[in-house]
Each structure stands twice: as C-alpha cells, then as structure tokens.
Structure 1
Amino acid sequence: MRHFHAPRVVFGRVVTLRQVVFALLLIYCLTPWASPPIALALGLVLAQTLGNPFAAQTKRLTATLLQFSVVGLGFGMNAHAAAQAGRQGVAFTVVSIFGILILGYFAGRWLGITRSVAHLISCGTAICGGSAIAAVGPVLRAKDEEMSVALGTVFVLNAVALFAFPAIGHALALTQNQFGLWCAIAIHDTSSVVGAATAYGDHALQVATTVKLARALWIIPVSIATAMVFKQKGVKIKIPYFILGFIAAMLLNTFVPAAKPLGPVLVALAKTGLTLTLFFIGAGLSGQVLKAVGARPFLLGVLLWGVIASASLYVIIRTV
C-alpha cells in the first residue's frame, strides 16, 4: 500500500496513486453506468483500503452537492402529485417522529448512553439523518466526539438501507407508492432515501423525495424543543432553506410551460450529483469513523431503526 501514498511528478504536478484512483472512481460516478448503490460501494471500498485523499474537501462538498441535487429533482416533480403524497405522509411523520424521540430517550438511559448522544441519534433516526444531527448538535452544544458518534451511526445504517430496502421492497411486492413512503419514513438521510427510491422507480422517487423533505422541516420545531428541554439559551436554529428551492423548482415545472424542456436535463444532472454525493459519503466512512461509533450507541441506532422500519412497513402494507 505504501507506493499508493508515494508522491510522483506527473505533467509537472505532484500526485499520488491513491489520488489517481480517487479521480478515476469519481469520473466513473459521473457516467451513466454508475448508480447510487455502486457509487456508495466504491466509496466504502476506497475508505477501507487506500483511504480518501481528499477527505476534508469531500466533507465540505457533500452537503452542498446534496442540496443542489435535491433542488434539481424538483424539476421532475408535479406539485399536485407531491401535495397528495405529502398529505398521505403527514400522519406517519408526526407519529413516527414523536415515537422515536420518546423511545430513544428511554432506550438511551437503559443502555447507559449520554443524554446528548442518545438525543442526536434519535433525531437522526426520526427526522433526516445527518442533516438533523448537524442542526440539533449546536443547539445541544454537543461535543465533537458526540457528533461523530451520532453521525457515524446513522451513516453506517444509511449504507445498509441503500442496498437492503430495494431488495426487501421487491421481495414483498411493494407498490411504488408504498415503497416511496417507507423509504421516506424509515431511511435516515435524504441521500440514501433518494438513492433507494431511484433504484425502485420514478413514482417511488417522487413520493419518497416529497415526504422526506416535508419530514425534514421538522428540524425547526424539534431544534426549538431541544433548546427548551435541555435549557439552552442563545442558540441559533439551523433552517433547511434548500427545501424552499425544491418547492420552487417543483412549482416551475408544474405551472410554467417554458421550464418543462429544462426539466429532464436538470433531473439528470441532479441524479448524477446524488450519485457523486453517495460516493463522497462512502469515501468518508473510514475505519476510524467506524471505530469511533462504539457498541452501545450503534446498538441504540439499530434498535430505533429496526422499530421505525418494521412498524412503518407494517402500517403501510395494511393501510396504503
């Protein structure tokens, strides 16, 4: 492995072989042959073998790239269908969010996990993974190691969900509508929700994206409630403004005929951006990140995820 890290001069620039490998994988993720699961798998393999040579840069880019990709997906959505999907997911959203936050509190105490870590993992499971943790963490004034543990837990489970959910959906013969709802409720991060739904079908993607982004808006009231419950004063609430961009794109696509020809191009770019986002996320799951999680926080994450995934699947199959 040492020769992959050794610097070489190529065309007057100093590079390493692992940087070349990273660049080749990145280029592949930009091609039509790459899919979100493949991109995530390539990133994971890179992280566990050569390591990510641009870890700091990809960490900064991931959130921005995901937000632009989500806005781009709005140009493939119909506002009327999205409103219907959003109404359908409201009851699931409210019950599941409060249920997981309450269960996470008691399960965290039972497992002997600090209150902050338990709350961060619960928020990540209940709302929207890393985005919720990033928003609630500063409100809690969580330490860096607490944030790392919570983020590592949900990112590992996200990776599992991206591969497992489409297979389970096909095995149970879920409809596009059922699978989209299940993804939005039971998978943590928007990136993995969109990736799994993309693999299942276009209608599943529309339902999953709409319901998940409506769910993400709960970051605001949950952050405010966190500040009150944990008695934190003078903290700043992080608002997911990119959701407004998604709504604007969806409205343009539905009501402005001149915007329709741009839709397929922007959606294709958004899907490529999502694939690249998942490659970056996979490349960030290094051995150090996995070791930092610890057994008890990971057990809490698995417990909460198992409850929300199984309970929501049962209800959706019975009622949708």
Structure 2
Amino acid sequence: MSTPAEPTAARLAGLVPGLALALVIAAVATLIGSMLPLVGSALPAIAIGLAVALVRRPSDRLRPGIRFAGSRVLQFAVVLLGTQLSLAQIVDVGLESLPIMLVTLAACLVAAWLVGRALGVVGDLRTLIGVGTGICGASAIAAVAPVIGAASADIAYAVSTIFLFNMLAVAVFPLIGHALGLDQEAFALFAGTAVNDTSSVVATAAAYGAVALQGAVVVKLVRTLMIIPITVGLAVHVRRRAAAEAGAGHPPLTVRRAIGLVPWFLVGFLVMAAIASLGVIPDAAEAALGHAATFLITTAMAAIGLSTDVRALRATGPKPLVLGGILSAVVAVTSLVVLAATGWI
C-alpha cells in the first residue's frame, strides 16, 4: 500500500524538469542582466523562454514545473520583496512622497481604464499595464497577475511594454530635470514616482547625482507598498464578478470575508516588511534576499515565456504599446504637476 507521502513525493518530482528549465533560463538571463544593467533580467528571461517555446513547445513532462514557476515562484518572490522595506524608511519618505504617489497612481489607473477601453485593450492586459506603470513595473505585475488569473501572453506583453518606456525615461528624465531646474531631492521624488523598474530608477537618478539616487530608490521602495491596496481591491472585484457570473449575487463584505480575500503572499510581504523594520536582518542578508527576490521573478518570467501562446501575442497588436506610452506620459506629467503644486519646482 502507498503512503500519503508517496503521492506528494511524486508530485514534487513531477515539478523538477520544468522548474529546472526555468531556473537555467533565469540563470542565463541574470548573467545578461549583470552585463547590461539597464536591460535587467526579467525581459531576457521572457525572450529566451519565448525563443525556446518557438523552437519546441514544452512537453507534458515539463508543463507542471513551468506552471509552478509561473505562479508559486512568482508569489514567493513578492514575499521576499517585503524584506527591502522598513517602517523607518516608510515614515521618513512616505509622508513626503505619499501625495505624489497617490495622485500619480490614481491618474494612471483612471487613464488605463478610459484610454484602454477607447483603444479596445482587453481587461486583464489593461489592468497589468496600468498597475505596472502606476506602481512598480514587474513587481506589481507579479503580485496582480495570479489574483486576476492573467494569461501568460498578457504578462509577457505588459512586462515588455513597461521595459520599453523605462528605457526611454532613463534617457529623457534627467534632461527634463535639468530643464526645469529640479534640485536633487525634487528629482528623487520625480524619478521614484514616475519610473517603474528598480534598475531603471537607479540608472535615471544616478545620472542626476548621488543624493537623487539615494532618495529615488527609497521612494521607489515605498511606492511598492501600493501593491497591497490595489491587489486586495482587485481580489474583491474578481470575487464579486465570479459570484455575479454564477448568479450568486454580492454577499456582504464582512471583516472575516475581507481577510479571506487578502492573498497569502501579501500577508507574507507584510510579515517580512515587519521583520525588516525590527532591524534583525543584517545588511548582507537583506541584500541577498533582494537578489533572491529578483532571481525568483526572473525564474517566473522565464516560465511565462515558455508557456506564452505566441499566436495570441501577435494577435494583440500594437494598441497595448500605445496604451503603455500614454500611461507613462500621464504619470510623468502628473508627477511634475504635483511637484509644482507642492513647491518642489
């Protein structure tokens, strides 16, 4: 007779081939990202995964591990991202940058809904580009994708779109800052709220000065907290939509039900942030955990590339790219307007 441990062991063994393939691609993409910091590792991982899938679609033997890498590994990465924040950073920078973050996020999400509908961009892709542009690029996409059940093609397209306009920001934002006469602190707020990916924030702010660099990175990390209310809100929306489609109506949102809607990995994110706030994580370990989170996101992106339906990606067309460009412009302009309104310019 088989024991309960045997099926579990068999399931775990079934994950190994696909997960190993995603890890190998992630290692190659990480090497590319180390040589080309502005490119990062997420986009090469998706590109390599897509290339492998084009040459030969993953077999049934590989698919369980690939699915695991594209979902659970992605969620574990979000948990580890919590180690990069502390309450001290949030208090010091949050009050200063919160008005800009809230206004730019609101402007981005409203524009994503209005412009996305006008362009005919489908719901999940519109949502991913909106939260990726308004919050923090691939990290926000990683948190939101499993909640809304986004398709691999939509995730791949959204990450690629965010990457393109981040690269444009690296070249253009320092010129804008100098043209407007922004000091280092003001530019830190601008770059931290209007550029998404961490590597792009670093590159953009470093070109402006050391003070701008330090401030922009902290602003960007605090901005990551916006993942929490947005993801919980989307979880509520998805649950209610599913109930409506099933004809079950909208059950009252009690405290107990609301707690149940919070994704487990966001709870893990908050727990890790609380631990980091206690100062018990050594600097070296904190840096290592940050690298681990990035590598796990890269692994998940590799899996997403491997499982992406290229025909669906082609059928999407250029409209989501147009949406990404418009949203990036909305966030940048809104950030500058709020800076001017609050006396930073």
Q: TM-score, normalised by structure 2?
A: 0.63
1:178 and 2:197 are equivalent in the alignment: no
Q: 1:61 to 1:196 in 2, by over 3 A?
A: farther
What's 2:78 paired with? 67
Report the 3-state secondary structure (helix = DSSP H, G, I; strand = E; otherwise coil) of the residue aligned with 2:245.
coil
State the shift of 1:314 in Å: 1.3
* Distance in structure 1 (CA, Å) of the matches to 2:127 and 2:43: 26
What's 1:81 paired with? 92
Where does the alignment leave 5 or more consecutive residues of structure 2 unmatched? Answer: 1-16, 132-139, 206-212, 251-256, 340-345
Q: 1:132 to 1:318 in 2, by over 3 A?
A: same
What's 2:262 paired with? 239
What's 2:48 paired with? 46
State the shift of 1:61 in Å: 4.9
What's 1:190 paired with? none
State the shift of 1:273 in Å: 1.7
What's 2:229 paired with? 217
Q: CA offsets, 1:241-279, max 9 Å, x none?
A: 54454445545555x4xx25x241233123312431353
What's 2:302 paired with? 283
What's 1:123 paired with? 127
What's 1:37 paired with? 39
* Distance in structure 2 (CA, Å) of the matches to 1:106 and 1:21: 37
Contact 1:76 1:263 in 2 (8 A): no
Q: 1:24 to 1:287 in 2, by over 3 A?
A: closer
Contact 1:68 1:270 in 2 (8 A): no
1:197 and 2:201 are equivalent in the alignment: yes
Q: 1:212 to 1:290 in 2, by over 3 A?
A: farther
What's 2:14 paired with? none
Contact 1:178 1:317 in 2 (8 A): yes
**Which one-letter code corresponds to 2:90 in the other structure?**
A
Match of 1:158 among 141, 154, 162: 162
Aligned Cα RMSD in Å? 4.1
Match of 2:319 among 260, 285, 300: 300
State the shift of 1:122 in Å: 2.1
* Distance in structure 1 (CA, Å) of the matches to 2:170 and 2:226: 22
Between 57-66 and 46-55, the greater mean CA deviation after superposition: 46-55
The share of aligned pairs that are identical, in percent, is 8
**Which one-letter code corresponds to 1:307 in the other structure?**
I
Q: CA offsets, 1:187-246, max 9 Å, x none?
A: 4xxxxx334335444432321232233244223334434565783356998524544544
1:167 and 2:171 are equivalent in the alignment: yes
Where does the alignment leave 5 or more consecutive residues of structure 1 unmatched? Answer: 1-15, 138-145, 188-192
Alignment length, in residue pairs? 275
1:95 and 2:107 are equivalent in the alignment: yes
